[in-house]
Structure 1
Amino acid sequence: MGVSYVNFSVIGFSVCLALGIAVGYWVDLATIFSVSKYVMVLVFASCFLLLLLTWLWNKKQLSPSPIFGVWVLLFFFICGFANYTLRLPKYQELHYLHQFIISENNLLQLKVTEVLKPDSFNNKYIAQVQKVGGASATGKVLVSIPKDSLSLAVDDVLLTYGTLQPVPAPKNPHQFNYAAYMKTLGVYAQMRLKQPQILTIKKGNTTIRGFSESIRDHLISKLKNTPLQTKERSILQALVLGQRRDIDKDLYSDYAAAGAIHILAVSGLHVGILYFIVLFLFKPLTYLRYGKIMRSILIVLFLWGFAVLAGLSPSVVRAVTMFTFFTFATAVDRPTNSFNTLFLSFFILLLFKPNWLFHVGFQLSYLAVFAILWIHPKLYKLYRPKFYVDRLFWNIITVSTAAQLGIVPLSLYYFHQFPGLFFVTNIVVLPVLGILLGAGLLLVFLAACNTLPGFFAEGYNYSLQLLNNFISWVAGQELFLWENIPFSKAMVLVSYLFLIRLVLLWKRFSVRRLNYCLVSMILLLAVLNWEKKQANFSEMIVFHKNRKTLIGVKQNKQLILFTTDTSTKNLQKNYPVKGYTTANSVAKVSEKTLPKYFSYKQNYVLVLDSLGVYPMGTKSPIVLLTHSPRVNLERLIDSLQPQQILADGSNYTSYVKRWQQTCKKKKLPFHHTGTKGAFTLK
């Protein structure tokens, strides 16, 4: 067998493809230059033809031309850009956005393609639009149905009428952008349906996703008849079936705080464990003629069967894809490098699913695996364990550390917290995860066959109880959980730049590498210092919060919260204040009762509550209407001559519409936080 090597061409192609997709997402060049679909296809075809001609010319040269290499990379960049852009609604002639008038009633035929985690009041689904009126259509919508009405399954086809609404943008600064997240799933509108609006429901043609969901639902129904308790059953469903919808919110938070959230998402870790289990089980086949090929085929079939069982989620599909390449490369005795396998799976998945590039799980998993392959071998050599037990624990510590180094900047950007005891969690959890996963698969199989022994179910339930108790204990060590860490996109970029230069210096010392490392460190400190200075600003903000009034006054790194609800405590730990304080590096938060009248930077703010009483002598204030005051707004405007009228989320919608018409008539600025988002005054 030859020596494996890193194929930098595959890495270059993958990176350029990803950059093209990213440019297509962030910069809408097609709109800027008014490029039609046919022009884009023509440009792509021309680039491919030029690439082919360049390749033929390059073959006749004694030495390869660098122009060819640059042109290949440029081609894959264009390929990524076109692959993403041509999937946008503007280039899909049958997309419902071209046929459907937003906010008007229409008759639609929808097919459910995915069941999402429900919120407090609604079941949520992603559905494919099949028809608008009587015409064929395409595109995905988010469907919400009250929990007390009905529930749908994948592949259900429903005929309904209703209005499409845009997926709401964030109403407060630094809030999770649900609309942007839905965009990465190809969803550009939502429907809120009630049962009378659904005219018919029938079962559509079965898809692989629907087949997978039906199997999972059947197995979950079987598990409900076992001695497993609710919390433990939900963990088993996550481990084996990839179904996390039933996990208790507090328990899920504990896993996140303990740095063990990765074991609840079926991903490369689970697939890797299963790979080595079936590799061991099918080892006797290697003694037969063509045994390696037979074993590889069985392993791939088993892994893809598990992927179907786990709902074909993006995390399990990308993991199984990578192990499929690795398995077949091993079967044919081709020397392969893990980096090649990693980037080849990355490349192929983005060709078929370019939107996956923007999924947090996709980014974190590939960064973690890359960091393990790149950093772990060097890290492992720092200590030479002699015995099996210390080799096992040393390997777990070094793998966990390498993975954390790879994902920590991106984790801080998305989650703003760092679990300091992640290595303790992994030392305890990882050695038993293979046992829990293997035993869990056996338990599910026995439950499906109605042959599950009671002692086995109770023993497995007890094991999961011990796991949950340990996770909760680790999560309770608040001293080692660093939260509310501000981390921007700029910090992510310079952090990875510094990390890369540091690892390169560690692998091979040279003066040039030391200089690069120092420059990257200076750049990191400069960005950190600049962002600290940027956080030293003052503003007044009226947050949007349903049925509540909440005003914040920020002065440098201090925030004073004013509210009319004195029963609500620790506002800084809850939505929407937590995201605001984290992003703006707020160090101290205090809470006070909202006064009826106060000033901010020579601006006077009059708060008008449900009583509707206001002083007559005040001139030119900013009037904030809260809790639906019964007031004659025209008379108030004539009397006080306000600069602006504000209405927060505590008011009735009918009142807000009436006030808006009055302000329009009086030619006075009107701001409703429920429509325009939070109001800020610098």
Structure 2
Amino acid sequence: MKFINFSIVKFSVFLTLGILSAFFIPTSTFLLPFLFFGFLILFVIWIVERKRLQKSIFFGILTYLVFFGIGFVCYQLQLPKFQDEHYSHVLSKGGTSETSLLSLKITEVLKPDRYNHKYLAECISVNKTETTGKILLNIQKDSTSTEYTIDDVLLISEKVISIPKPLNPHQFDYSAYMKKLGVYYQVRSESQAILVFEKGSKTIRGSAESFRNHLIAKLNKSNITDNERSIIQALVLGQRRDIDKELYADYAAAGAVHILAVSGLHVGILFFILKWLFSPLGNLRYGKQLKSIVIIGFLFGFALLAGLSPSVVRAATMFSLFLFAEQLKRPTNSINTLFISYLFLLIINPLWLFHVGFQLSYLAVFFILLIQPKLFRYWYPKNRIIRKVWVIITVSIAAQIGVLPLSLFYFHQFPGLFLLTNIVVLPFLGVLLGFGLLIVLLVSINMLPIWLSEIYNHIVLSLNKFISWVAKQDAFLFQDIHFSEEKVLVSYLFIVATILLWKQHSFHRLMVCLLSICLLIGIFIWDRWEASGNELIVFQKSRNTIIGVKNGDNLLLLKPDTLSETAKNAFPIKGYRTAKQIESYSEQLLPKVFSYNNQNILVLDSLAVYPKTAKIDIILLIQSPRVNLERLIDSLQPKQIIADGNNYKTYVTRWRTTCKQKKLPFYHTGTKGAFILE
């Protein structure tokens, strides 16, 4: 392995620490002037010491602090409060509760939910005042609704509202996810409320999106079946919105989601295909330079067509750096190139650090470069086919080690048959991608032969059947694994310490490895103890009543009837079970009156029947009971009233007013989130 420039690695670490510090420790002070002052001092020290072979410790410390400051400032520049023209400043003057006239230009089409088409848009103006900033646009689905695309400009008169936080514990926080994309507010609208719609000025990304939609429309007219067509769209065009949910779940269970998401793997395959295709150019004068320019152009064109996801941009940048170093005839190291691309991309867009795809992509490649070469040297098969299989196995193991803690943290599952999946699928992925590109090219010029589309359809169908078979091997799919942030950090400490000890044995490395094991055990014990408490929880779910009684690692679910389906793997129980490390689960009928933690709870449903003399501490209102709440309060003298999501909003409003008059605490799960009684 060629020399690793550890300065690049250290610069990357301090840049990352700067971004994370700005994210977790927000400040109202803009650090750009301080960063400029740091650059000035660093330049003066460099002038003084430029002839020295060994720079002073002050030069090193200041250099690292400057990279820390670059990360901090780059993230600050993404925050609305440091953007003078951000639309939130205009809204704060008039109040976000007021209806505003908004001019929005769509920049990205998101996956729709059950009720809305979803878009990211640039806010061009608010009440005719020019602004900037991203906003989430939700347009309600109906029979007249139009699906918009990138560069469309809409004029809407609506309220700008915040993106709500989850109302149940341990559920996916969409508002936090959007903030990591630089989106802080949203607009909810209907098709009829859009005052003006026009095509905005074309951008490169908008043109790429139009071309991709044109190719998808062409594919829709071919004789390739739906599921197989959706896989081609994912493989070649980076469009996953049309993939069937069950099929996508099968790919996830089989450990093959990386095949569907256009990533560094696809770009790498395309890179070698392009090098082979354009190899004749190398025989021309200046042919090598021309070949590199053409390949880089195709790589970034593919990245643009695939939606410019962070993992694709990472791979395209990294391979471009390889070609650039090759042209300069400079020796390069893959890890150096990896970290240079990491530095470059995070300076351009520090928010990419919080993208799951960005994190998994860099970790996978880093651990492949770190582990795979030595792992491969343990055995060198003479048979070429076996040797290729051994390469796939070592690469898969190295990548899996690198992404395992983060995958468990985000997805809470581990596909035990990932090796089998990769051994079978990866050798044919180049063929799938290459012929997929050919099919897209032919269909775009209306020259796709039926026999070719049928052959490709059969190949993808066989792939889908194999993936579905692997996914059905439930014994090898480990699900509902709780993995906290602390576990992730200590797990990576343990993995890195173990790899360093594996590469070179020493007493200090052994001590670090043993310390990391002790820390990991301690984190697991602490995490288990923290989740061992008891609580009663009234979950928030519209048109449903779900009450959980947690006792240690046991969860008893109380439901108002036995007709409703089991909620074990349904929202919001699944996320709660995983986070609380529930091992035993059961269900039973919700009683009308029960006791928890020395408090008597009355459940009042649509029948509105209740005991007249019982001592009641808490009244839980479900299924919109028609009851005179004032008379009920006077009769039972409760300490608190709770209304869950299974009540009419008009009833909830009336009950809230009554409780306010009676000076009695009122809790509505639809407003405040799940009610927890410990």
Please list the CA deviations of residues 374-405 of structure 1 after superposition, one character each: whole Å capped at 9, or x if unmatched.
00011101111112101110000000000000
| 1:6 aligned partner, one-letter code | I
Match of 2:87 in 1: 96
Please list the CA deviations of residues 222-252 of structure 1 after superposition, one character each: whole Å capped at 9, or x if unmatched.
0011010010000000000000000000100
Q: CA deviation at 1:484?
A: 0.6
5 Å-filtered alignment, 1:95-174, equals 95-100=86-91, 101-148=95-142, 149-174=145-170
Match of 2:554 in 1: 558
Please list the CA deviations of residues 181-240 of structure 1 after superposition, one character each: whole Å capped at 9, or x if unmatched.
111111111111112210110000111111111001000000011010010000000000
Match of 1:653 in 2: 649
Is 1:275 aligned to 2:271, yes or no? yes
5 Å-filtered alignment, 1:411-430, equals 411-430=407-426
* Count of residue pairs the alignment pairs up: 673
Instruction: Choose 371-380 or 280-289, whichever is displaced more.
Output: 280-289
Match of 2:492 in 1: 496
Q: CA deviation at 1:60?
A: 5.3
Q: CA deviation at 1:86?
A: 2.5
Please list the CA deviations of residues 123-179 of structure 1 after superposition, one character each: whole Å capped at 9, or x if unmatched.
111111111111111211111112322211110001111112211101111101100
Check conservation: 2:123, 2:134, Cα contact below 8 A: yes
Match of 2:343 in 1: 347
Q: CA deviation at 1:311?
A: 2.2
Check conservation: 1:111, 1:157, Cα contact below 8 A: yes
Match of 2:19 in 1: 21
User: Runs ≥4 in structure 1, deviation > 3 angstroms?
Assistant: 60-63
Within the candidate set 198, 203, 210, 1:207 is matched to 203
| 1:112 aligned partner, one-letter code | I
| 1:20 aligned partner, one-letter code | G
Distance of 1:418 and 1:582 partners within structure 2: 14
**SS across alignment from 1:573:** coil
Match of 1:78 in 2: 69
**SS across alignment from 1:572:** coil
Within the candidate set 582, 586, 593, 2:589 is matched to 593
Distance of 2:140 and 2:225 partners within structure 1: 27
TM-score by length of 2: 0.98
Distance of 2:437 and 2:146 partners within structure 1: 31
Q: CA deviation at 1:620?
A: 4.2
Distance of 1:97 and 1:637 partners within structure 2: 44
Q: CA deviation at 1:258?
A: 0.4
Q: CA deviation at 1:58?
A: 2.5
**SS across alignment from 1:571:** coil
Check conservation: 1:293, 1:332, Cα contact below 8 A: no
Q: CA deviation at 1:562?
A: 0.6
Instruction: Choose 94-103 or 109-118, whichever is displaced more.
Output: 94-103
5 Å-filtered alignment, 1:20-39, equals 20-30=18-28, 35=29, 37=30
Check conservation: 1:644, 1:670, Cα contact below 8 A: yes
| 2:447 aligned partner, one-letter code | T
| 1:512 aligned partner, one-letter code | H
Match of 2:601 in 1: 605
Instruction: Choose 320-329 or 433-442, whichever is displaced more.
Output: 320-329
Please list the CA deviations of residues 655-676 of structure 1 after superposition, one character each: whole Å capped at 9, or x if unmatched.
2122222222222211111111
Q: CA deviation at 1:287?
A: 2.6
Distance of 1:455 and 1:547 partners within structure 2: 51
Is 1:481 aligned to 2:472, yes or no? no
Match of 1:289 in 2: 285
Match of 2:237 in 1: 241
Match of 2:48 in 1: 57
Instruction: Choose 658-667 or 234-243, whichever is displaced more.
Output: 658-667
Instruction: Choose 346-355 or 141-150, whichever is displaced more.
Output: 141-150
5 Å-filtered alignment, 1:214-363, equals 214-363=210-359
| 2:512 aligned partner, one-letter code | Y
Q: CA deviation at 1:443?
A: 0.2
Distance of 2:86 and 2:616 partners within structure 1: 49
Is 1:66 aligned to 2:60, yes or no? no
| 2:74 aligned partner, one-letter code | N
Instruction: Choose 403-412 or 48-57, whichever is displaced more.
Output: 48-57
Instruction: Choose 201-210 or 568-577, whichever is displaced more.
Output: 568-577
**SS across alignment from 2:161:** coil
Distance of 2:391 and 2:406 partners within structure 1: 24
Q: CA deviation at 1:565?
A: 4.1
Distance of 1:589 and 1:411 partners within structure 2: 25
Q: CA deviation at 1:102?
A: 2.2
| 1:211 aligned partner, one-letter code | S
Check conservation: 1:548, 1:565, Cα contact below 8 A: no
Distance of 1:62 and 1:348 partners within structure 2: 27
Distance of 1:680 and 1:49 partners within structure 2: 55
Structure 2: give runs of 5+ residues left out of the alignment: none
5 Å-filtered alignment, 1:422-571, equals 422-571=418-567
Instruction: Choose 200-209 or 311-320, whichever is displaced more.
Output: 311-320
Distance of 1:146 and 1:215 partners within structure 2: 26
Check conservation: 2:602, 2:616, Cα contact below 8 A: no
Distance of 1:640 and 1:139 partners within structure 2: 53
Distance of 2:189 and 2:485 partners within structure 1: 37
Check conservation: 1:14, 1:347, Cα contact below 8 A: yes
Distance of 1:66 and 1:570 partners within structure 2: 64
Distance of 2:501 and 2:341 partners within structure 1: 29
Structure 1: give runs of 5+ residues left out of the alignment: none
Distance of 2:295 and 2:286 partners within structure 1: 14
| 2:67 aligned partner, one-letter code | F
Instruction: Choose 400-409 or 526-535, whichever is displaced more.
Output: 526-535
Distance of 1:62 and 1:470 partners within structure 2: 60
Q: CA deviation at 1:16?
A: 0.8
Distance of 2:131 and 2:301 partners within structure 1: 32
Instruction: Choose 533-542 or 45-54, whichever is displaced more.
Output: 45-54
Please list the CA deviations of residues 98-128 of structure 1 after superposition, one character each: whole Å capped at 9, or x if unmatched.
2222232111111111100111121111111
Q: CA deviation at 1:647?
A: 1.1
**SS across alignment from 1:361:** helix
Q: CA deviation at 1:62?
A: 6.4
Q: CA deviation at 1:65?
A: 0.6
Please list the CA deviations of residues 270-291 of structure 1 after superposition, one character each: whole Å capped at 9, or x if unmatched.
0000001111112222233322
